[in-house]
Structure 1
Amino acid sequence: MPDMTDATELASLLARRRQAGADSATIDAEIFARFGRTQAVMFTDLVGFSRVVEAFGIVHFLQLIQESEALFQPLIAQHRGRCLKHEGDSLLVLFDEPAQAVACAHAMVQATRTANDPGRGPEDRIEVCIGLGYGTVLCIDDADVWGAEVNAASKLGEDTAKGGEVWVTDSLYAAVPGLPFTDTGTLFGKRTVYRLQSA
């Protein structure tokens, strides 16, 4: 019998969990033992999608996405990150070490500042918003990832951070002692989050 993929194995475990009388706690523990990994999660988003597309067209924005990835991918590799997903103008990246995720985020913001030289028009500016989380996530086939820290990083990158800002969850902040921050907020009404000071 061929080896099951992670996705197939997870689907089988979830099907067991749905059965009447299933011991969900035991199955949950089995799922986390099989797929759980402690990771730093980065979610990035580019500023101005709707505005730029409306003013200059989708092809122009696709060019900016391509240019941003040309800036970011070498930095992700340099900081030992693994880019799991490209979705529109967003990236989902995993790191084994939270300090590497923070260093990479600062490097990405700096790279956009360098690229946005004074002669560059507003329609060509690349501004990135970054959210970072850290904790146990479920990694499936090195192609997908699930967990509270994924949700939190996505929320911070898409909704909280402005252009050039890096926001981190309380768990990432605790994992990298001494991170300087300039502001705090709350996420999901209960978690403290931190806007990091620019590097």
Structure 2
Amino acid sequence: MPDAVNAEPPRYARAGDLHIAYRVVGDGPIDLVLVDQWFSNVDAMWEFPPLARLLTQLASFSRLIVFDKRGTGLSDPIAVDALPTIEEWIDDLRAVLDDAGSTRTALLSGIGASVMSLMFAATYPERTSSLVLVDGCARLAWADDYPSGQPVGALERQLEWIRAGWGKDGGTMAFLAPNLLLEHPVAEQYIRYERQSASPGMAKAMIGWLYEVDVRHVLPAISVPTLLLHHVEADRIAPIHGRYIAERIQGAQFVEIPGRENYTWAGDTAPMLAEIQEFLTGERPVAEPDRVLATVLFTDMVDSTRRAAELGDAGWRKLLAAHDQAIRSILERFRGREIKTTGDGFLATFDGPARAIRATIAIRGVLAAQGIAVRSGLHTGEVEIVGRDIAGIAVHIASRIGGLARPGEVLVSSTVKDLVAGSGIIFEARGAHALRGIEEEWRLFAASEPA
């Protein structure tokens, strides 16, 4: 967490009679205001790790301003049956920028809150240096002239989710990012953040408001440099919304980024942040390697080429689907992280070597029951996190060990064996081996559990 956040309490700007809470973090050369989602809490956002990481990265190249719209977070409450107009919410933003001394500001918005930034950029071009939208839309609801919008039935379901599940049972994740519900710590932290940001009544009212607002008419009036980023696999707020905006703002750029969740903080944010930083500063960030200690697993299906030829395309796809499902189920049970598939195998990591061995033995057993034999290799070492992938000498060693394993064998390095002393796992020596591309020889062992 940046020192500025630890040291300074939130500030308050006055928008009429209301107090609007905000923070300023970082001292970069450009002012950047984050108008993200429709609710927030400028204190609690730093306690939600994925969002805190995003804010810290944004503040590394900017003077970052975050604020709570009226009725949310630490700002003054308002009646749920008397929501402000979009112009009044823009007044909140203008009041914050005035109080922070920001005369010319880049705007960064995500999902529903993008309507505020679009309206602000059209109304105050002299105060807007740039506009960046992530999974943005100018209208959410379906219309005769906007068939890509959400149908009325979808709105009713989402409002029911909010009524019944806000701050529990998944909250907005249930319809914006259901896959994230499987990541239990993240889901629990985010649900807590929802509770700290808005009441259920306010959340329901604001989402209903978002389905009524339509700022398509202002798009041709926007003249500031504009970047539209959209997660390529997003289906709730699909890329077609971003393309619609880009086609109607002169000179706007549209870039698809990896991912499927309609949250700025979710998944691998590096590609998104690189695009934002380059657009705003002209300089693309140089990624510093993130290194962690991990146990790396490589699996490979035995005789896959022969089996594919015997089974034919349909049979092979069915076998491969069963193989993949079995491995993913075991990875989840043993807290493994899938890195990628290799056609007929998996690359995965674990945070503990004993857990990795037991998971690999379980994979072997489940697949053997389905008539599938695999060979597996394990090594523990420092790996470099590269987006969603991993790299480093430990990855190469695990790959080479997997290539030496016999059918049905769980082959591990001496490093793995030494780290699990006292675990009860049984090891059978397989001798010292020269691994291709690796200077020294490695002693290898076949791992098994007591009968």
Query: Normalization by structure 1: what TM-score?
Result: 0.74
**1:154 corresponds to which of 385, 388, 399:** 399
**1:37 corresponds to which of 257, 270, 292:** 292
Counterparts of 1:162 and 1:94 in 2: how far apart (Å)?
Answer: 21
Counterparts of 1:114 and 1:57 in 2: how far apart (Å)?
Answer: 21
CA offsets per residue over residues 145-193 of structure 1, 9 Å max, x none? 0111211111222x21122110011211121115422231314261111
Contact map agreement 1:187 1:193 (CA 8 A) in 2: no
What secondary structure is seen at the aligned counterpart in 2 of 1:12?
A: coil
CA drift of 1:59 comes to: 3.5
Counterparts of 2:365 and 2:307 in 1: how far apart (Å)?
Answer: 22
Question: Which structure carries more strand by proportion?
Answer: 1
CA offsets per residue over residues 32-74 of structure 1, 9 Å max, x none? xx51100011111111112112333343222211111121211
Provide the residue aligned with 2:447 in structure 1. Answer: 196
Matched ranges for 1:45-194 at <5 A: 45-115=300-370, 125-141=371-387, 143-157=388-402, 159-178=403-422, 179-185=425-431, 186-188=433-435, 190-194=441-445
Counterparts of 1:74 and 1:130 in 2: how far apart (Å)?
Answer: 17
Counterparts of 1:166 and 1:107 in 2: how far apart (Å)?
Answer: 10
Counterparts of 1:176 and 1:195 in 2: how far apart (Å)?
Answer: 14
* 1:12 matches 2:258: no
Contact map agreement 1:183 1:196 (CA 8 A) in 2: no
What secondary structure is seen at the aligned counterpart in 1 of 2:328?
A: helix
Contact map agreement 1:83 1:92 (CA 8 A) in 2: yes
CA drift of 1:198 comes to: 5.3
What secondary structure is seen at the aligned counterpart in 2 of 1:76?
A: helix
Name the amino acid aligned to 2:442. R
Name the amino acid aligned to 2:418. A
Contact map agreement 1:46 1:128 (CA 8 A) in 2: yes
Contact map agreement 1:44 1:90 (CA 8 A) in 2: yes
Contact map agreement 1:170 1:191 (CA 8 A) in 2: yes
Counterparts of 1:136 and 1:88 in 2: how far apart (Å)?
Answer: 25
What secondary structure is seen at the aligned counterpart in 1 of 2:421?
A: coil
What secondary structure is seen at the aligned counterpart in 2 of 1:80?
A: coil
Counterparts of 1:90 and 1:126 in 2: how far apart (Å)?
Answer: 12
Name the amino acid aligned to 1:134. T
Name the amino acid aligned to 1:45. D
Identify if the C-alpha distance between structure 1 residues 46 and 198 changes in structure 2 by more than 3 Å, giving closer, same or farther: farther
Provide the residue aligned with 1:19 in structure 2. Answer: none
Name the amino acid aligned to 1:41. V
Counterparts of 1:38 and 1:107 in 2: how far apart (Å)?
Answer: 23
Query: Normalization by structure 2: what TM-score?
Result: 0.35
Identify if the C-alpha distance between structure 1 residues 113 and 56 changes in structure 2 by more than 3 Å, giving closer, same or farther: closer
Provide the residue aligned with 1:119 in structure 2. Answer: none
CA offsets per residue over residues 96-148 of structure 1, 9 Å max, x none? 11111011011111112333xxxxxxxxx21111111101010122x110111
Identify if the C-alpha distance between structure 1 residues 77 and 187 changes in structure 2 by more than 3 Å, giving closer, same or farther: farther
Contact map agreement 2:417 2:427 (CA 8 A) in 1: no
Structure exhibiting the larger radius of gyration computed from Cα positions? 2
Name the amino acid aligned to 1:113. A
Contact map agreement 2:357 2:447 (CA 8 A) in 1: no
Counterparts of 1:180 and 1:71 in 2: how far apart (Å)?
Answer: 24
Contact map agreement 1:49 1:61 (CA 8 A) in 2: no
Where relative contact order (Cα < 8 A, 6+ residues apart) is larger, the structure is 1
Pairs aligned (count): 169
